[in-house]
A and B are shown apart, each in its own frame.
Chain A
Amino acid sequence: MGRIELDGLTKRYGDVVAVDGVSLDIADGEFLVLLGPSGCGKSTLLRLVAGLITPSGGRVLLDGRDITHAPPARRDLAMVFQSYALYPHLTVARNIGFPLRAARTPRAEVRRRVEEVAALLELGPLLDRRPRELSGGQRQRVAVGRAIIRDPRAFLMDEPLSNLDAKLRQATRAQFRMLHETLGSTVLYVTHDQVEALSLATRIAMLDDGRLEQLGTPTEVYDTPASVFVAGFLGSPPMNLLPARVECHDGRVRVLADDVEVDLWPGEDVEARDVILGIRPEHLHLMAAEGPAGPGGMPRLRGVVRAVENLGAEESAQCAVGGALVHFRGARPLGLAAGQPVALTTARDHIHLFDRHSGRRLAWRPLADRPLADRQSADHEPAAALHDGVTTHQRSST
């Protein structure tokens, strides 16, 4: 068992609020990744759960038991540190066995368990070495070994892969996923690397400035970012975010900005408002021909190519659209050169809108049960909504 509940957890350092009222319910067996930029409070949150620092407010529950003030030793949680924190004076075997010896486990039992763990992590031949005689990847595995030998209720990991090179990181990611499937334990995992988060997590908790921005599966977080912050954090390059305005013109609800025209749906009853228009680089593509930008036309962004970057399988182009820089990527070659004028378009489903002031996502929902072709036809516009928590604009036509 290993269900961790956080209830309004807060940590203040003087005026700095490192963790700001975070509530989370991490189910048993879940692989929850805390994702966010440097300094957003990920490590602090993890250390609060570990009991290494005491919160300024809120509670931590482990399997329903309040452990907010229990010392780390009584929490039955194991931690893997970014620095690995191996004991330099002990051999690998003694490092791995350290938590068991602290619990006064009989010697023979310790030896047996150490050998088991070493076999699982392929550390067998290294058991008599000291940490300084190991490579980075081997140290990392020893650190993991020291955590799993205790069979704890949950694992806490603070950027365990950040000291490895790219290739090893990928291999270790796969190993973590396997380990999680084998052991089935709860993992609370901190990283600032979105690839790690998207590939490992069962759910991602996005943190910004100590606050929980969004909680969801990798798919949810990537496909429907809850805020400008989340949208701008995920993806490489991240989502294009352009200041724009929603207006009604000639019986159509449209999103307008310099050199940008997006026709949403027919209607008049949407209040004009400032928004942020978001489109992922991989969802943009070149407009075949200059189609009509009139009612029901495809979303259109006009710009000039500034640079083209080779990413291996794909190419990424940066285009100046209005005053902003828009990235788009597609299969190589894109057939573009710097200085060339382009027109970009995207499917309407791939349009994200955020409130300009709060940065929160505006739900705008084309009616999902219509076939795509139908939705794009001029005559049968789907029902759609544009709303946030405060104002709701509902509209249904047809």
Chain B
Amino acid sequence: MAVAETTAPAPARGEPSAVADLAGETGARVWLRTAVGHGVLAALSLACIFPIYWMYATSLRRPEEVYNVSLFPWPLSVGNYTHVWDVIPIGRLILNTFAVAALISVGQLLVGLLAAYAFTAWRFRGQTLLYLAFVGTWLVPFQVTMLPNYTLLYRLGLLNTLAGVIVPNLASALGVLLLRQHMASFPRDLLDAARMDGRSSWSILWTVVVPNLRAPLAALSIVLFINAWNDYFWPALVLQRADSVVQLGLRGLFVGVEGPDWGGLMAGSGLACLPIFGIYLLLQRHVVGAFVRSGLK
């Protein structure tokens, strides 16, 4: 296929043999490059997919067969899933985690959006300093803010509540940083045109900027959601109960009396991954689409 694409039609006159040679050689080289590229990509994706496959494969074995290493689980069984359902309130845990992750990512998106808009659409005194301060928070390790945040939550009476997990995470430098980069390359003429057309800056943000930043916003949402979903340490610190969020609930399966409950763990993790896949499927359509610059020139 690649050969066919690159082989130029030989000119009517001139040196047909030389032209054919040249075309043949480039064709072969292109083919080789494509093959190597595809090989590397295939190996990488296999390395990524296999653990996930193994998790679901193990979860679908019969509970007494979880140590079986055959590549395909047979006969299939939902025993591990019913078991998880019996041992921990997995439905409520996932729902809680979902709510926490959703609120955190929406909060971070909003803060990032407004801050990035302010940093790009206006020039004001102390701008660079403020921006550096924002970026700086990224460099501060979690361990430094952990204890002050904890004491603050204690005083506010938010320990052991989902709000305690959410509130300290509502702003993130990552969101501000990433969105500012995207807005900086946003065509200024579009903002100016909207101002000439009589829009307020608030309305410009929602009617011009956001619709054209759908791709980066979707990508950022996925990252923020997964971050929040995977966060283990902070929820573990704030919520000292196992029946709160799924990260902590799964821990209960690890430390059973007879050692880790591998079947239950795989089934529980398998369930915990589903919302992430869902979010990804929902948003990746936007990641691929939308091209801001296409309206210019």
A interface residues (Cβ-Cβ under 8 A, vs B): 47, 50, 52, 71-73, 77-79, 81-89, 98-99, 102-103, 130-132, 136, 139, 146, 150, 163
Contact of A79 among B190, B196, B211, B290 (CB under 8 A): B196
How many Cβ-Cβ contacts under 8 Å join chain A to chain B?
A: 83
> In angstroms, how far is the closest chain B Cβ from the Cβ of A381?
58
B196 in contact with A77 (CB, 8 Å)? yes
Cβ of B195 within 8 Å of any chain A Cβ, yes or no, is yes
CA distance A85 to B190 in the complex (A): 5
B199 in contact with A73 (CB, 8 Å)? yes
B198 in contact with A87 (CB, 8 Å)? no
B198 in contact with A131 (CB, 8 Å)? no
Cβ of B70 within 8 Å of any chain A Cβ, yes or no, is no
> In angstroms, how far is the closest chain A Cβ from the Cβ of B37?
29
For residues 99 through 135 of chain B, which have their beta carbon under 8 Å from a beta carbon of chain A? Answer: none
> In angstroms, how far is the closest chain A Cβ from the Cβ of B13?
30
Residue of chain A at shortest CB distance from B295: A88
Residue of chain B at shortest CB distance from A52: B192
B residues in contact with A83, CB < 8 Å: 187, 189, 296-297
B189 in contact with A87 (CB, 8 Å)? no
Considering the complex of A and B, which 4 residue pairs feature the smallest CB-CB distances, nearest first? A88-B295, A132-B294, A85-B193, A85-B189
> In angstroms, how far is the closest chain A Cβ from the Cβ of B111?
23
A84 in contact with B195 (CB, 8 Å)? no
B190 in contact with A87 (CB, 8 Å)? yes
B interface residues (Cβ-Cβ under 8 A, vs A): 187, 189-190, 192-200, 203, 208, 211-212, 214, 290-297
B295 in contact with A85 (CB, 8 Å)? yes
Task: For the A-B complex with A50-B192, A77-B196, A88-B212 known, give 9 more contacts whose Cβ atoms are closer than 8 Å.
Answer: A72-B195, A82-B189, A83-B187, A84-B296, A86-B295, A87-B193, A88-B291, A102-B198, A102-B199
Contact of A136 among B187, B192, B200, B297 (CB under 8 A): B297
A residues in contact with B187, CB < 8 Å: 83, 85
Given known contacts A83-B189, A85-B187, A85-B192, A73 and B295 CB-to-CB distance under 8 angstroms: no
Residue of chain A at shortest CB distance from B197: A99
* B interface: dominant SS: helix
A residues in contact with B208, CB < 8 Å: 87
Contact of A73 among B195, B211, B294 (CB under 8 A): B195
A selection of 12 A-B contacts at a CB cut-off of 8 Å is: A47-B192, A72-B192, A78-B196, A81-B189, A82-B189, A84-B295, A85-B189, A87-B194, A88-B292, A88-B293, A89-B211, A136-B297
A residues in contact with B211, CB < 8 Å: 87, 89
A131 in contact with B197 (CB, 8 Å)? no
Residue of chain A at shortest CB distance from B293: A88
> In angstroms, how far is the closest chain B Cβ from the Cβ of A162?
10
CA distance A243 to B195 in the complex (A): 49
B212 in contact with A89 (CB, 8 Å)? yes
B297 in contact with A81 (CB, 8 Å)? no
> In angstroms, how far is the closest chain A Cβ from the Cβ of B287?
16
Q: Which among A47, A98, A139, A150 has the highest number of chain B CB atoms within 10 Å?
A: A98
Residue of chain A at shortest CB distance from B195: A72
B196 in contact with A50 (CB, 8 Å)? yes
Residue of chain A at shortest CB distance from B290: A89
A131 in contact with B295 (CB, 8 Å)? yes
> In angstroms, how far is the closest chain A Cβ from the Cβ of B212?
6
> In angstroms, how far is the closest chain A Cβ from the Cβ of B295?
3
CA distance A146 to B292 in the complex (A): 19
CA distance A52 to B197 in the complex (A): 12
Residue of chain A at shortest CB distance from B294: A132
CA distance A71 to B194 in the complex (A): 12
CA distance A52 to B188 in the complex (A): 11
B198 in contact with A73 (CB, 8 Å)? yes
B291 in contact with A132 (CB, 8 Å)? yes
> In angstroms, how far is the closest chain A Cβ from the Cβ of B200?
7
CA distance A103 to B198 in the complex (A): 7
> In angstroms, how far is the closest chain B Cβ from the Cβ of A141?
14
Residue of chain B at shortest CB distance from A142: B295
> In angstroms, how far is the closest chain B Cβ from the Cβ of A302?
50
CA distance A72 to B297 in the complex (A): 23
CA distance A99 to B198 in the complex (A): 6
A73 in contact with B200 (CB, 8 Å)? yes
> In angstroms, how far is the closest chain B Cβ from the Cβ of A284?
41
B residues in contact with A130, CB < 8 Å: 294-295
CA distance A78 to B291 in the complex (A): 26
A88 in contact with B199 (CB, 8 Å)? no
B residues in contact with A78, CB < 8 Å: 196
B296 in contact with A86 (CB, 8 Å)? yes
